[in-house]
Amino acid sequence: MARRKFIAGNWKMNKTAAEGAALVKELKEKLGGCASGCCCSGPDVVVCPPFTTAPAVAAEAKGSCIQVGSQNIHWADNGAFTGELSGAMLKDIPVTYAIIGHSERRQYFGETDDTVNKRTKAALKAGLKPIVCIGELLAEREAGQTNSVCERQARAGLAGLTADDMTTVVVAYEPVWAIGTGKVASNEQAQEVHAFVRSILKDLFGAAVADATRILYGGSMNAANAAGLLAQPDIDGGLIGGASLKAADFAAIVAAAK
Ligand code: PGA
């Protein structure tokens, strides 16, 4: 079964509301309208701005093929969770996707496999589509633990989900050593892990779900290397950080996914 490609920009802690709206305006111009195939035959296109920037971005993106996501979501409906946002609040923005378990959240903010699982379930409950991130550290790769780390993170992050839930879940494989470093995984390195992750999805949810689930690559993907990565049979798109902050670069990656 052909999986529709999926290109998501993770803006991280960049762009004020005005800057974000301007970036989306430029992106719309570069991508063209529906007639150019952006929303018909092209990939899903999602941008994930900071929370305060997201309303302006959503307003600018309205009516276009660009969808908006958050960079996190809390698992509770409300309560004493300083600095966090619930699914209902995110739907107010409105966003349709939520990045969950990004390695920077794991590294700097105490995200664990367990909290990734709770956030993923909360997103599904709120009707948001989770982009669940997994990926090994450099030391883990060098110790030959890439598959075991990715397997643990995928099994724990997706624990308790049904095949039906999986119809809206996107998985992002992001080797931590490749994020923001300019050291992209080779096409073969990335394909190997993607195929392995798909085998885990098959074990968890069956062949049909494994075949249908989009698995994105993230880590120094850019306009120059995107086509090679996206040509791999198990790489269904990208989660792009740095190169998503420039409309021309991000549009070129979207074009490479067509
Ligand atoms: P990068 O970030 O493209 O800047 O390496 C990717 C990510 O963190 O999602």
Write down the pLDDT at residue 177.
Answer: 96
Lowest mean pLDDT among 23-37, 69-83, 147-161, 235-249: 23-37
Grade residue 37 by pLDDT with cuts at 50, 70 and 90: very low
Write down the pLDDT at residue 32.
Answer: 86
Query: How large is the average pLDDT for residues 113-134?
Result: 98
Determine what percent of the chain is predicted with pLDDT higher than 90.
94
User: Is the beta carbon of 179 within 6 A of some atom in ligand 1?
Assistant: yes
Query: How large is the average pLDDT for residues 137-147?
Result: 97
User: Is the beta carbon of 9 within 6 A of some atom in ligand 1?
Assistant: no
Of the residues 220, 246, 249, 253, which should be mutated to test ligand 1's pocket, given the most ligand atoms within 8 Å of the CB? 220
- Evaluate if residue 17 carries a pLDDT over 90: yes
Mark whether 102 is an active-site residue: yes
Q: Which atom of ligand 1 is nearest to the CA of 104?
A: 8
CA of residue 105 to ligand 1 center, whole Å: 13
Q: How far apart are CA 180 and CA 184, in angstroms?
A: 9
User: Is the beta carbon of 64 within 6 A of some atom in ligand 1?
Assistant: no
User: Is the beta carbon of 94 within 6 A of some atom in ligand 1?
Assistant: no
- Evaluate if residue 126 carries a pLDDT over 50: yes
Q: Which atom of ligand 1 is nearest to the CA of 12?
A: 8
- The CA-based diameter of the chain, rounded to the nearest angstrom, is 49
User: Is the beta carbon of 218 within 6 A of some atom in ligand 1?
Assistant: yes
Query: How large is the average pLDDT for residues 135-154?
Result: 97
- Evaluate if residue 120 carries a pLDDT over 90: yes
H/E element, 240: strand 237-240
Is the backbone peptide bond immediately before 94 cis, with ω within 30 degrees of 0? yes
Higher pLDDT, 32 or 76: 76
Write down the pLDDT at residue 34.
Answer: 57
Grade residue 33 by pLDDT with cuts at 50, 70 and 90: low
CA of residue 179 to ligand 1 center, whole Å: 5
- Evaluate if residue 58 carries a pLDDT over 80: yes
User: Is the beta carbon of 219 within 6 A of some atom in ligand 1?
Assistant: yes
User: Is the beta carbon of 8 within 6 A of some atom in ligand 1?
Assistant: no
Query: How large is the average pLDDT for residues 219-225?
Result: 97
Q: Which atom of ligand 1 is nearest to the CA of 219?
A: 5
User: Is the beta carbon of 115 within 6 A of some atom in ligand 1?
Assistant: no
Looking at the chain, how many residues does it have? 258
Task: Give per-residue pLDDT as tens, 242-258.
Answer: 999 999 999 999 999 98
Write down the pLDDT at residue 3.
Answer: 97
Write down the pLDDT at residue 40.
Answer: 56
Mark whether 174 is an active-site residue: yes
- Catalytic: which of 104, 111, 140, 174? 174
Considering the segment(s) 6-257 as one domain, its CATH architecture is: Alpha-Beta Barrel (3.20)
Q: Hunting for tokens 């450099």 — which residue is that? A: 138
Q: Are 48 and 71 in contact (CB under 8 A)?
A: yes
Grade residue 1 by pLDDT with cuts at 50, 70 and 90: low
Write down the pLDDT at residue 2.
Answer: 87
Higher pLDDT, 37 or 81: 81
Q: Whose CA is nearest to atom 1 of ligand 1?
A: 241
- The whole-chain average pLDDT of the chain stands at 96
Task: Give per-residue pLDDT as tens, 201-217.
Answer: 999 999 999 999 999 99
Amino acid at 23: L
Task: Say if residue 50 is exposed, middle or buried (CB neighbours under 10 Å; 0-12, 13-18, 19+).
Answer: middle
Amino acid at 81: F
- Catalytic: which of 102, 136, 140, 194? 102
